[in-house]
A = this chain, B = another copy of it.
Amino acid sequence: MSSCLGNVFRVSTWGESHGGAVGVVIDGCPPRVPLSEADVQVELDRRRPGQSDIVTPRKEPDTCKILSGVFQGQTLGTPICMMVANTDTRGSDYDAEVYRPSHADFTYDAKYGIRNHEGGGRASARETIGRVMAGVVARRALQTLLPSCSIEVVAYVESIHEIRAKAETLEKVTRHSVETTPVRCPDPEAAERMISLIEKTKGDSLGGIIGCVARNVPAGWGEPVFDKLEADLAKAMMSIPATKGFEIGSGFLAPTMLGSQHNDAFEMEGNRVTTRTNNSGGIQGGISNGMPITMRIAFKPTATISVPQDTVTSAGEAVTYTGRGRHDVCVLPRAVPIVEAMTWIVLCDHALRQRAIEY
């Protein structure tokens, strides 16, 4: 079990879906960063179950409590522990013996020889509460350290099942355009169709793609050859439950382009080096180049469905299983703040690592 991410800005999440609480410890946050429970709550509310009609009705107020590391509204430079109590747990919805298909029941048993079968335990998306809380700290830290560079991270639902947002709505995506609809797709027309699809897919589930752009990241962040910026972003995103693929810049389109099409010509914009195109996705050789960092992350359809499925028990018996519990038909709207949080966490860690060696 390794629940720690980052080198200088280190994030450790803890907690099971149906235990006493879930939370996070952040070690390595710079001191004197303004931080309050209210700041954190804003993002928790974007991830929260029950926030709209298209997400799980599980009722959790998900109230942030800061236990350490903050004094009179500012970080101390010491570890920040934050938690959210689990209140609405219904462990009885779960069956201790059955391996739910495409869940982590079997693999946790294979690895640990024990698991908390009340909910997904540690594999539940509830673990991501700690990530979202850490993301707020990372964002605040970057804004405090680099007040003039106004880094901006915006994630959005690009597609759900076969419904895709129009490309032109994605290029100029803003937090505001994302928050306009509960499905968090900046194309209002596509959003409406997505919502209809979610509503009529009760019982089964839907996947999709989340896009994310980080703007105004300074050139020079990323630590080749293994901690390249895109490598750490890939790891961060692929550690989110239900992700199956990651792209930076041109992604899986790159293979079909010629070098003469794909190369991003450099040009000057005043005193600043920029590129005419951005197939690189803002990163070259593992280091940010100052252009927007563009990513796409593939999410599989939620594993919990109420369609009967073939499976086995821990005793090796074949059974038919039908999901109970209260789950999302489509997790993407709630995953948007998680993708943003992971981006902030990786950026903050790399910003601090670069500060360590630059002079």
Contacts and interface: CB of A to CB of B under 8 A. Distances in A.
A262 B77 contact: no
Interface string A262-281: 11111110010101100111
Given A280-B102, A284-B106, A2 B77 contact: no
A173 interface: no
Nearest to A81: B14
Contact of A104 (B235, B255, B265, B284): B284
A27 B7 contact: no
A252 B230 CA distance: 18
Given A20-B67, A228-B238, A298-B251, A77 B284 contact: no
Interface stretch (A40-48, A181-189, A351-359): A351-359
Given A2-B27, A3-B78, A16-B78, A247 B244 contact: yes
B3 A226 contact: yes
B263 A309 contact: yes
Nearest to A209: B255
A99 to B, nearest CB: 5
Indicate how many identical chains form the complex: 4
Given A68-B20, A106-B284, A234-B234, A79 B1 contact: yes
A114 B205 contact: no
A312 B267 contact: yes
Contacts of A283: 107
A244 B238 contact: no
A89 interface: no
Interface string A301-337: 1111101011110001010000000000000000000
A195 interface: no
A273 to B, nearest CB: 6
Contacts of A80: 14
Contacts of A201: 258
A68 to B, nearest CB: 4
A318 B67 contact: no
